[in-house]
């Protein structure tokens, strides 16, 4: 099967390419700089130029195929990189919605057959206080409140039209991805190594994590399973609190988890991002993945962190 990945040069996209190649698929990665794709993958995947805006050029890429193909859209600006100014918020939204709309339009006008479309999203859809009362959040839970909830709604909505074209649409609402070489651990680990680590905020907020290997496996699962439609929470079934997460990092590094940062200080320094990202509480559960028989390789935080830091 041919799989076209938009956003395939990032932390998750790179590993997804490797996994799909191992499954025997032909993989094409779009980029504004196709040469970077060539450097990253050494010719193992196809590289196609796309600016993230032009539906006609992406439709031509789809038209190269005569057999059903899958599109995986992972593109979007990092939400945790930089202070949330008005301009940053606009980039967070536009970097998701503009490509999504262009891709949906491309699918509609292309002659090349598209069997499925896997769209990235996030558990932020459920709102920053989704589990303030400790209730679990599954895929049937309603949209919550906050900037990121609105972004996720628009992000998912930008590609909703592909389903109207008869294309199977799967929405991957991802939690916090843990793995080597990128993601949140790059920010959490240095203070612990200097004996300055600890929970952010009260430590009681729910922390919806997933091992990078399980994230990649779940995305491949959604691409390959013909009955995978609608929203899926890509989070570990072993959900923990922020305090548990930080204690786990300290344990695997042989460091204490003692120097927490109070919520008021985070709100003072980070503004809205503190409330919506660092202090948000999502007790998200992967109900639909489990119902469909997906098997997590790392459902336990202790085992997951041991794998990441010891391998």
pLDDT tens-digit series, residues 155-194: 999 999 999 999 999 999 999 999 998 889 998 999 999 9
pLDDT digits (tens, 9 = 90+) for 51-60: 999 999 999 9
Helix (H, G, I), strand (E, B) or coil at 279: coil
pLDDT exceeds 70 at position 140 = yes
- Measured CA to CA, the distance from residue 148 to residue 79 in angstroms comes to 9
Count Cβ atoms within 10 A of the Cβ of residue 33 and give its class: 0-12 exposed, 13-18 middle, 19 or more buried.
Answer: exposed
Q: So what's the pLDDT on residue 132?
A: 81
Q: So what's the pLDDT on residue 123?
A: 98
Alpha helix (H) ranges present in 45-146?
55-62, 86-109
User: Residues 220-228: what's their mean pLDDT?
Assistant: 99
Q: Taking the complete model, does pTM exceed 0.95, yes or no?
A: yes
Q: For domain 2-183+208-237+284-297, which CATH number applies: 3.30.470.30, 1.10.10.10, 3.40.50.720, 1.10.3720.10?
A: 3.40.50.720
pLDDT digits (tens, 9 = 90+) for 79-103: 998 899 999 999 999 999 999 999 9
- Rounded (10°) angle between helices 86-109 and 55-62: 40
Query: First and final CA of the chain: distance in angstroms?
Result: 31
For the chain, the average pLDDT equals 96
Residue 311 — pLDDT band, cuts 50, 70, 90? low
Nearest CA to 148 among 160, 131, 132, 130?
Answer: 130
DSSP letters for 246-303: HHHHHHHHT------B-HHHHHHHHTHHIIIIIS----B--HHHHHTT---S--SHHH
Name the residue ranges covered by the structural domains of the chain: 2-183+208-237+284-297
- Measured CA to CA, the distance from residue 87 to residue 81 in angstroms comes to 13
The neighbouring-strand residues paired with 28 are 4, 46
Four-point Cα dihedral 81, 95, 29, 226, nearest 10: 110
Question: Of residues 311 and 217, which shows the higher confidence score?
Answer: 217
Q: So what's the pLDDT on residue 213?
A: 98
Please tell me what DSSP assigns to residue 124: G
Number of Cβ within 10 Å of residue 265's Cβ equals 13
Nearest CA to 249 among 193, 208, 172, 177?
Answer: 193
């Amino acid at each position: 099967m041919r799989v076209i990945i938009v956003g395939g040069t990032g932390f998750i996209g790179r590993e997804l390419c490797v996994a799909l190649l191992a499954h025997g698929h032909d993989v094409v990665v779009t980029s504004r700089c196709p040469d970077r794709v060539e450097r990253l993958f050494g010719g193992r995947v196809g590289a196609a130029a796309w600016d993230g805006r032009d539906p006609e050029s992406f439709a031509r890429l789809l038209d190269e195929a005569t057999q059903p193909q899958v599109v995986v859209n992972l593109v979007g600006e990092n939400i945790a990189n930089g202070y949330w100014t008005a301009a940053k918020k606009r980039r967070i939204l536009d970097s998701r919605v503009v490509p999504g709309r262009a891709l949906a339009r491309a699918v509609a006008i292309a002659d090349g057959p598209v069997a499925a479309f896997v769209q990235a999203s996030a558990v932020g859809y459920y709102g920053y206080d989704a589990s303030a009362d400790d209730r679990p959040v599954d895929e049937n839970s309603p949209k919550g409140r906050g900037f990121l909830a609105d972004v996720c709604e628009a992000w998912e909505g930008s590609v909703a039209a592909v389903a109207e074209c008869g294309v199977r649409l799967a929405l991957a609402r991802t939690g916090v991805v843990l793995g080597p070489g990128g993601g949140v651990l790059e920010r959490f680990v240095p203070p612990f190594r200097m004996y300055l680590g600890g929970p952010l905020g009260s430590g009681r907020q729910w922390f919806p994590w997933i091992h990078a290997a399980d994230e990649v496996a779940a995305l491949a699962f959604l691409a390959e399973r013909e009955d995978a439609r609608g929203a899926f929470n890509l989070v570990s079934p072993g959900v923990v609190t922020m305090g548990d997460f930080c204690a786990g990092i300290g344990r695997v590094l042989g460091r204490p988890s003692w120097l927490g940062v109070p919520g008021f200080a985070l709100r003072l320094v980070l503004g809205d991002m503190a409330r919506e990202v660092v202090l948000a509480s999502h007790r998200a559960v992967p109900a639909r993945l489990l119902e469909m028989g997906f098997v997590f390789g790392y459902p336990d935080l202790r085992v997951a962190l041991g794998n990441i830091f010891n391998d």
